[in-house]
Structure 1
Amino acid sequence: MTTCCGPSRNGDRPHDDESGISEDRSTPPPAHPGPLDDAGLIDIPAGAFRMGSEDVDCNPGDGEGPIRTVTIPAFRIAAHAVSVDDFARFVDATHYLTEAERFGWSFVFGGLLPARLRDILPAPIATPWWRMTPGASWRAPEGPGTDVATRRSHPVTHISWNDAIAYCSWIGGRLPTDAEWERAARGRLDQARYPWGDELTPGGEHRCNIWQGDFPDYNTGEDGYLGTAPVDAFEPNGFGLYNIVGNVWEWCSDRWDRTESTRVMRGGSYLCHASYCNRYRVAARTRNDPSSGGGNNGFRIAADAL
C-alpha cells in the first residue's frame, strides 16, 4: 500500500531479501502515567462544522468528500505537535523503544542524506525518493552520525501509530479523531482551504513548512526550512494551533475503513508540493500502516474536555 509522502513497512518496500534489513518485532514495554497538565492543551468547544471538501484539488480515493455537517462534543488538543524534548521525557521515564529502534531502520528522505548513502541504500518501489536507512530513528533522524541536539524544539519524527499510542497512554491523553483533527485545524473558518484562509501565501508570506521548488530534486527552502521546523514556527490558526498543516504528518486514532488496519494521517509535511502531494489542505487526508513511520511522521495529543 502506497501512501502520500510516507511509505509503508508492510507494502511499499523491496522484499526483505533484497534490502538486507532485518526486523525485531518484540513487544514494547508498558507505559506509565505522565504529566497531561503540562501538554499545552487548548479547549475546542462542542459544535457543528462542515467537514471535507469537494474542490478540484481533492485526491481520488482519499475520502475527502462529500462535504457533510459533523457535530462533535467539546475536547482538548495540543497547541503543538509532540516535540523531541517532549518525547525524550517520555523515554527517560519509561525506557520505551520506538518501533524504528526495534526494527533497526526507518525511512529517510533521500535528499537529506549524503550522496554516498543515497546512492547505495535501498529505496521503496513506489516512492523512490525515500531510503530505508539502518539506524534511523527519533534519536538519529538521518541515521548514524546525526542527532537531535539542535532540533529539541522540532517535532519528534520516525514515530509509528503504535509509538504515538504508547506516548498518549503515558501522558494520560489520546490521539485526536479524524473529525476532531479537522475541526481544530479549521480554526473557526468554514470550508477554507488552509487553517488561515484560501490563499497559500497571503501577501507573499509563508504560513507553513512545505516543499518549494521541483519535487523531489530541488527545494528552494523559501519558507526557511528544508526539513522540519520548530513546533511553534509560523502563526497559529484561529484556535491557537501551530503547524497544523505542513511540517510533519500527524496520526489520528481512526482506522481508514472497517476492512483494513491502516490509520488516518492528517496535515501533510515538509515534503508536500502541489505537483505531487497537495495534502497540506485542511480537508486532505491519507493513511499508513500502524507500524510504519519515517522522517516526516509525528503526532499531536488530544484529550476529552474537562
Structure 2
Amino acid sequence: MAPQNQASSHCCSASRAPARNEESRGQLPAAQAVARPLQLDGVRSGEGGSFQAPHEDVLISGGVFAMGDAFGEGYPSDGESPVHNVHLDAFRIDATAVTNQMFARFTQSTGYRTEAEQFGTSAVFHLLVRAPRSDIVGAASGAPWWLNVRGADWAHPGGPDSYWADVPHHPVVHVSHTDALNYCEWAGRRLPTEAEWEYAARGGLTGKRFAWGDDLTPDGEFRTNIWQGTFPTRNTADDGYLGTAPVKSFPSNGYGLYEVAGNVWEWCSDWFLPHYYRTSPRDNPQGPAKGAGRVMRGGSYLCHDSYCNRYRVAARTANTPDSSSGNCGFRTVAVYTENETQAQ
C-alpha cells in the first residue's frame, strides 16, 4: 500500500507517494497507469447497455482573454504571471463539477475501480473523518490535518462510515487525474485545458480577482465555499458548509458556471510548469509536454487567506496524477466530431 505521506508543496491537498512496487498496489505503478487509461471494451455512454450521466453544458463562445494574475497576489512558485492574451475556440463545458450521482453511473456501468480503491487509502481532512480510529493509518508530513484513511474513496468520502448516496449532488472527490480521464473516456468527453478553465471561470469579466468581481463577499453575500475561522482547527462554516457543498449552492458566474471558486479543486488536462506562461502559445494552449504534476484549478472548501489563497480565478496549482483527496474533483468538456464543431 502506498501511503499519502506528504502534503503537496503547491496546494492544500495531499499528494500520494509513488508506489514502490506493483505488489504495493496490486496493479500497475502510478506512472504507467496515467499513460494507459482504462480500456472499457467498447462500453461507452449509450452503448452496451450503459446509461449516460447527464451533463449540463454551457456553450462558451470563442474569443481572446487576459490570462493570469492581474494583482500580483499569486504565490511565486505557482507561476500565475505574466498576464498574457490567449485566444480560444468555442467549447462546451459542464455548468457544475461531476457529482457523486454522475460518477456512480460510470462505476455501475463499467465496474471501474478508482485509484483510491486500488491503493486502499485516501486523504481525508481531519474534521471530516468518518471511520474507526483503527482505519486512520497516518497523517501527511507537514500537513497533519490530512489523515490517510483506510477505506476512504469516492463512494466513502469520509471513510468507511460514510456513503456517497447520502450526498448524491455533492461533487465527487477522491478521484485522481487518471480516474477523471477514465470517466471522460466513458462519457465521450474530456478534461478542460487550463486556459479553457480560466476563460470559462472568469464568466466574461476582465482582470477581476474572483469569478464574480473583486470583493470576496459583495454586500455581505457568500459566493463560494471556503474556510472561515482559524485554519485548520476551527471552521465557523459561516457560508453554510464544513466540507463540500451540493453543486449549485452558490450563484453562478456570468457564463452560468457554478462553484468555480472553492468547494473542490478541479483537474485540468495540462501538465504543470511554474514558468509556462512565459512561453505559452497564444492560440488554444494545451500546456507543456511534461511537468511537475497535473494542473488543478479553483481552490476548495479548505482554502483560507492565511494558508491557501487560491480561490482567486487566476490561481493555479498541481498534484501528482495518482493523488486523491477529499477536496479534489473535476468538470468536463464536450467532445465533438468535425461536423458538430463546424455547426457551433
Is the shorter-chain TM-score for this pair beyond 0.5, marking a shared fold?
yes
SS of match in other structure, 1:276: coil
Letter in 1 for 2:203: G
Any unmatched runs of 5+ in structure 2? 1-7, 47-51, 274-288, 336-340
61-70 or 115-124: bigger deviation? 115-124
Conserved? CA contact 1:110–1:118, under 8 Å: no
Match of 1:30 in 2: 39
Matched AA of 1:286: T
Structure 1 residue 3: Cα displacement: 3.0
Return the offset for 1:261.
5.1
Distance in 1, matches of 2:26 and 2:142, equals 24
In structure 1, how many angstroms separate the alpha carbons of the residues matched to 2:53 and 2:102? 13
SS where residue 77 of structure 2 aligns? coil
Distance 1:111 1:148, change over 3 A: same
- 1:7 equivalenced with 2:5 (yes/no): no
**Structure 1 range deviating more: 137-146 or 28-37:** 28-37
Q: State the AA in 2 paired with 1:34.
A: S
Counterpart CA distance in 1 for 2:142 and 2:76 is: 17
Q: 1:179-190 counterparts in 2 under 5 A?
A: 179-190=195-206
Indicate the residue corresponding to 2:316 in structure 1. 285
TM-score (norm 2): 0.82
Tell me by how many angstroms 1:149 deviates: 2.3
Say what the alpha-carbon RMSD is for the aligned residues: 2.2
| Alignment equivalent of 2:62, drawn from 9, 24, 46 | 46
| 1:145-156 equivalence runs, <5 A | 145-156=161-172
1:163 partnered with 2:174: no
Q: Could you tell me whether the CA contact under 8 Å between 1:261 and 1:290 is conserved in 2? A: no
Q: Is residue 2:304 matched to residue 1:273?
A: yes
What is the count of residue pairs matched by the alignment? 299
Q: Separation in 1 of the partners of 2:153 and 2:187?
A: 21
Which residue pairs with 1:254 in the alignment?
A: 270
Of stretches 21-30 and 239-248 in structure 1, the one that deviates more from structure 2 is 21-30
Note the residue ranges of structure 1 that are not aligned, 5 or more in a row.
none
| Residues 24 and 104 in structure 1, CA contact (< 8 A), matched pair in contact too | no
Paired AA for residue 312 in structure 2: R
Mapped partners of 2:309, 2:64: distance in 1:
26
8 Å CA contact retained: 2:193, 2:269: yes
Aligned partner of 2:128 among 97, 112, 127: 112
**1:62 Cα deviation (Å)?**
0.5
CA distance in 2, matches of 1:75, 1:116: 45
Q: 1:245 aligns with which of 261, 265, 274?
A: 261
* Displacement of 1:150: 1.9
Paired letter, 1:196: W
Secondary structure at the aligned position of 1:168 is classed as helix
Letter in 2 for 1:91: T
Equivalent-residue separation in structure 2 for 1:60 and 1:75 (angstroms): 30
**Rounded Cα–Cα distance in structure 2 between residues aligned with 1:149 and 1:37:** 15
Q: Which residue of 1 aligns with 2:144?
A: 128
Match of 2:95 in 1: 79
Q: Specify whether residues 60 and 202 from structure 1 end up closer, same or farther in structure 2 by C-alpha distance, changes over 3 A only.
A: same
